């Protein structure tokens, strides 16, 4: 583990994931890594979250973090940011980066993208019919409740400010430098901080506002098609149809719970 990116989602985490991998600090563990590649990791993430927020079981140490992240050169986004101080102490030689943006702009961005995308009824459905989403969903819910006390609109800004202050304080206590990275900074500050050459080409721009929700919806539709094909092969189409009807009805009435 060489780089810890401990900024909140919607601060350029997907872009810096691509950038770090391009610079040789990959693979970089992102929430999508658990969702798309290693959903079984979520069993261990949930164990860590229950220990942190509910006092269940033992706190994770270097051994447990290595089990989760030992094959990765860097990490960013949820769920790792919920354990920022733990990771800072577990990896004393890792570089620390805070992806950052204006707190008001960030709050608006999350409200218009992440919160809206999660109201899509297929996201609610998939946790019941897709084993991988069934593992990922409790982790997303637990992180969200832990960071924002289950009320993003009210607590989001304060949570972000306190989190960033905490990361800076933890780093300062260990006399470690922190790079405060804005998406528009491009390659130069990042490469200077990591002491590597600036690559050719533009800095990655991933998950920008306008394309975020359509991309999330398309991923959900593709996932449901894959589940449907699997259920069809096993003769369970009637079962999934019933689940679809029930979840759709509940979603229309209550909306999606983040």
- pLDDT tens-digit profile, the chain (258 residues): 999 999 999 999 999 999 999 999 999 999 999 988 999 999 999 999 999 999 999 999 999 999 999 999 999 999 999 999 999 999 999 999 999 999 999 999 999 988 887 777 777 788 888 888 899 999 999 999 999 998 999 999 999 999 999 999 999 999 999 999 998 899 999 999 999 999 999 999 887 656 776 777 677 777 777 777 776 666 555 555 555 555 554 554 544 444
106 found inside a domain? yes
Write the CB contacts of 197 (distance below 8 Å, at least 6 apart in sequence). 191
> 141 lies in which domain range?
3-119+132-206
Distance CA 114, CA 122 (A): 14
For the chain, report the end-to-end CA distance as a whole number of angstroms: 30
143 found inside a domain? yes
212 found inside a domain? no
30 found inside a domain? yes
Burial class (CB in 10 A: 0-12, 13-18, 19+), 132: buried
Domain count, the chain: 1
98 found inside a domain? yes
| Domain CATH code at residue 184 | 3.40.50.300
Write the CB contacts of 217 (distance below 8 Å, at least 6 apart in sequence). 117, 120, 122
72 found inside a domain? yes
185 found inside a domain? yes
């Amino acid at each position: 583990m060489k780089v810890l990116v401990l900024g909140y989602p919607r601060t350029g985490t997907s872009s810096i994931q691509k950038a770090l991998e391009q610079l040789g600090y990959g693979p970089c563990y992102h929430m999508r890594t658990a969702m798309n590649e290693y959903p079984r990791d979520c069993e261990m993430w949930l164990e860590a979250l229950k220990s942190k927020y509910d006092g269940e079981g033992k706190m994770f140490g270097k051994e447990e973090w290595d089990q989760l992240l030992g094959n990765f050169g860097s990490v960013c986004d949820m769920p790792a940011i919920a354990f920022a101080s733990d990771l800072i102490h577990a990896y004393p030689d890792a570089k620390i980066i805070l992806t950052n943006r204006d707190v008001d702009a960030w709050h608006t961005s999350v409200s218009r993208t992440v919160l809206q995308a999660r109201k899509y009824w297929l996201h609610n459905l998939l946790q019941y019919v897709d084993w991988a989403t069934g593992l990922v969903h409790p982790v997303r819910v637990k992180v969200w409740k832990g960071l924002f006390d289950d009320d993003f609109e009210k607590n989001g800004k304060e949570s972000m400010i306190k989190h960033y202050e905490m990361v800076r304080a933890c780093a300062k206590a260990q006399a470690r430098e922190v790079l405060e990275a804005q998406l528009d900074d491009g390659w130069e500050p990042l490469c200077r901080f990591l002491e590597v050459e600036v690559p050719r080409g533009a800095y990655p721009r991933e998950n920008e506002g306008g394309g975020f929700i359509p991309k999330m919806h398309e991923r959900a539709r593709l996932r449901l098609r894959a589940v449907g094909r699997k259920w069809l092969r096993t003769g369970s189409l009637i079962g999934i149809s019933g689940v679809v009807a029930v979840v759709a009805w509940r979603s229309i009435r209550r909306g999606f719970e983040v």
